Structure 1
Amino acid sequence: MRQSGRRSVLLGALLLVASLAAGCGDSDSSDGGKGLEKKTLTVASLPLVDAAALHVAQQQKLFEAEGLKVQIKPVQQSIQALPALAKGDVDVIAGANYVSFLQANEKGTLKLSIVAEGASLTSNMMNVLVKANSSIKTAKDLEGKKVAVNILNNIQSLTLNAILKANNVDPSKVTYVAIPFPQMPAALEKGQVDAVHIVEPFLSDTQKKQGARVAVDGGSEPVTGLPIAGFVATQEFTSKYPKTAAAFQRAIFKAQGLATGDRKRVEEVLPTFTKIDKQVASVITLPGYPTSLNTTRMQRVIDLMTSAGLLKQKPDLKTVLFQPTS
C-alpha cells in the first residue's frame, strides 16, 4: 500500500508538471515565444514615404513573426494623434515629425519615447515647389512670400530656415502657412500660397499633375541626412511594455533594411496607403531609412532646434531614445 501510494503521488506530480509545461507552450506560441506584455498595437500613420516601413513590415508579416498584431489608423498630421498618444488610445505614431514631439516633451504634454527612426532627409525628397510661371527662382526669392508647411514650427520650417540662412536669406521674412500635405497642391494652384514645402509622395504627384517646379532643394546642405521623422510612443508605454516595444522596434528596423536594400518594397506598398499610383511611386525620391536608433544623428536635430529657439534646453537623449535592455 505504501509503495502504491508513492507511485500515485509521483504520477500526480508528473501530470501537474506536464500540464504546466503545456500551458506555457500555449502562451509562448501565441506571441512567438517572446513573452510580450501586449500583443495588439494601434499605430497612427501618415500617408507619407516616412512611414513606409510600417506598411512593409505589415505586408511582409514581420510584426506577426514577432508575435504582434498591428492595427493601422490613418491620420493627416502626426500632431493630430498626439492627444490620443498621450491618453493611450494610440500606442505608436508612425512618421511623427521630431520637432513637434520634442517640443511637447519639453512642455510636459507627454513624456516622449522615440522607438525607432523612420526617415532621414535626402536631396529632393522634400522640396519647395512653385507654379511653372512663378517669379520665384531661388531661395532669396522666398522673402516676402507665403510658403505652405504641414504644421507650423515643425521639421519643415526648421530645415528650410537652416537652408535659407546658409543662402544668406532672412527666414523672418518668409511667412509660413499651415496646410496639410494632401491639400497643398490645391492651395498652390489657387494661389493661396506662393510656394509649398512638400514631401514625397505628394511632391512628385504635384509636379506630374500641375507642372510645378522646384525652387529650393529641401534636402540640401546643411540639413542633408538629418533625421526628420520617426516612430514615437510615450515613456509610460515603453516602460510598461518593454518587450512589446522591443519587438515592434525589431520589426521596423527589419522593414527599414528591406526598404533600403530594395526600393521595390516601398513602391509596392505606397499605393496601398497613399493616393499615388504605381507610376509615380516608381519615380519618387525616397528618404533614408535608418536601421538603428543613433544618438549622434538625433543630437543634430536637438542642436538645430536649440539654436533656432525651438527648445529652451536640450533633453536627455538617453531618456528619450528607447533602448531595449536585452
Structure 2
Amino acid sequence: MIVTAVALAMTAVACGGDPDQAGSGGNGLEKPSISVAALPLADDATLYLAQDRGLFEKEGLDVRIQPVQQSIQALPALSKGQVDVIASANYVTFLQAHEKGTLDVRVLAEGARVAPHMMDVLVPEDSDIKSVADLKGKKLAVNILNNIQSLTLNAILDKEGAGRPVYRQIAFPQMGPALEKGQVDAVHAAEPFNSALQKDLNARVLIDGGSAPVESIPISGYVTTGPFAEKNPKTAAAFQRAIAAAAKIAKQDPSAIREQLPKYAKVTPDQAKAIRLPEYPETTDPGQLSRLTELMKEQGLLKKPVDPATLLVK
C-alpha cells in the first residue's frame, strides 16, 4: 500500500501541469519548482531545515517534498523524471543502479555521514546475544538488503573477526514490532528509530554502527540524474547552495536540526533531544565517497571501481 500511495503522489506531481516547469524562475532557474522524495530519517533534516528557514525560497526554488519509507521506492520515479531529487538516497543502491546502467546517477550533495550511535545493532533486553560473536547466523533486520547497513556492519564484524548474521529486509517503522514478536533476533536501526526502540522496548545496544572502520563514512546523499543536472545547471546549483547553508546551520546549532525532527519523523520534541545525529557535511568530498565505493568493491557490491568525482554535480 505504501508503494502504491507513493507512486500515485509522484505521478500527480509529474502530471500536475506545473507552469513553472515550462519557464524560468525569478533567478533565471531552468526549473524553479522541483520535487524531492525524502525519508523520515535524521539524514533528511537539512532538507526540512532549508525549507523551514526559507533557504530554498531565497534561491528562487519551490521544493515539494514527497515522503517515502525507502529511497529505493523512489528510484523508478527518479529514472522516469517523476521526481527530480531523492534525499537520503542510500549510495549503495544508487551506485549499483549506475553501474548496471539502469540509472544515470549524479550526486548533488552529501546528505549524512556516520556518527557514533546514529545507527546501532539492537537486541531485546533479555536476549542471549551478549557479544559480537553471538550474532553469527542470527536473523538481523536491515531496511534494505545488500545496502549501507549490511555493508558497514560487515566491515565492523570483519574487523572484529566475527561471523555474519542472516539479513532480513524490514522497513525501519516495522523493526520494533518484528523484534518484539521474535521475528528477528536483532535489528540495525537508524535514527530516529534507534533511540525510540531503546526507549520503548528497552532494546539493548550490541554494536555501535558508527564505530571503526566505518566512522564518518558517507551513507546517503541528495541524488539526481545526469539528464536533470545537464538540463538544469542553475537549478541544481541553487539546490546545492540551500543544502550547504542548512548544513552550516546544523553544524553551528544542532538544536535547529532537533527542532525539525518532530515535524516529519514522528518523534516527540523530547525524543528529538535525545537522538544521536549524523554528520551533515557542508561540502561533498570525493575522497570520503571513495571510502564507500572501495568498501563496496571489497564486498562484491560493485564489480569495478568507481570514481565518485565523475558523479558529482559541480
Q: 1:120 aligns with which of 113, 137, 142?
A: 113
Distance in 1 (CA, whole Å) between partners of 2:71 and 2:35 is: 14
Q: Is 2:303 the counterpart of 1:315?
A: no
Matched with 2:78 is 85
2:205 to 207, 214, 222: 214
Match of 1:108 in 2: 101
Shift of 1:189: 0.4
**1:38-60 residue CA offsets vs partner (Å, 9 max, x unmatched):** 00010000000001000000000
- Partner residue, 1:42: 35
- Which of 219, 237, 257 is the aligned partner of 1:228? 219
Map 1:129-148; keep pairs closer than 5 Å: 129-148=122-141
Q: Displacement of 1:315 after TM fit?
A: 2.2
* Offset of residue 175 of structure 1: 0.4
State the SS of the aligned residue for 1:232.
Answer: strand
For 1:1-326, what aligned pairs fall within 5 Å after superposition?
30-31=25-26, 33=27, 35-171=28-164, 174-323=165-314
Separation of aligned partners in 2, 1:179 and 1:96: 17
Deviations 1:257-291 (A, max 9, x none): 11111111111110111111010100110000000
In 1: Cα distance, 2:153 partner to 2:307 partner: 25
CA distance in 2, matches of 1:318, 1:278: 38
Rg larger for: 1
How far has the Cα of 1:191 moved from its partner? 0.5
The structure 1 segments of at least 4 consecutive aligned residues displaced by more than 4 Å after TM superposition are: none
Q: Which moved more, 1:280-289 or 1:135-144?
A: 135-144
Moved more, 85-94 or 255-264: 255-264
TM superposition shift of 1:170 = 2.5
Residues 76-117 of structure 1, C-alpha deviation per residue, up to 9 Å, x if partnerless?
000000000000000000001100000000011101001000
Q: Which runs of 5+ in 2 are unaligned?
A: 1-22
TM-score, with structure 2 as normaliser: 0.91
CA offsets per residue over residues 26-74 of structure 1, 9 Å max, x none?
Answer: x99x53x3x1100001000000000100000000000000000000000
Letter in 1 for 2:90: N
Three-state SS of the structure 2 residue aligned to 1:282 is helix
Secondary structure at 2:248's aligned position in 1? helix
1:244 is paired with a residue whose SS is helix
Q: TM-score with structure 1 length normalisation?
A: 0.88
